[in-house]
Amino acid sequence: MKAEYDLTKLESRKNPYANKLKKSVTIRLSEDIIGYFKGMSDETGVPYQSLINLYLKDCVQQHRKVDISWQTEITKP
């Protein structure tokens, strides 16, 4: 191994993996949702944040749409 290297002749290039990098975000999730994914994490050995990311990625790839119509429960007297 050389004591010094001449890096002045190196050409710079873009990171080919830059579009695959993850971005840190803050999101509020229900405790039961976190518990569900943590349980899956314990079973699979995959970190729960990675499992959430994989699930959301699958939703995007499958073009899933969320049903946001609220169901109201009718109670009978």
What is the pLDDT at residue 72? 73
The reported pTM is 0.64
Single out the residue of 49, 42, 47 nearest to residue 26, CA to CA.
Answer: 49
Going by pLDDT thresholds of 50, 70 and 90, the confidence category of residue 45 is very high
- Of 2-11, 14-23, 37-46, 68-77, give the range with the top mean pLDDT: 37-46
**Domain ranges across the chain:** 27-61
> For residues 50 and 37, what is the distance between their CA atoms, to the nearest angstrom?
9
What is the pLDDT at residue 76? 65
Q: Is it the case that residue 50 has pLDDT exceeding 90?
A: yes
Going by pLDDT thresholds of 50, 70 and 90, the confidence category of residue 75 is low
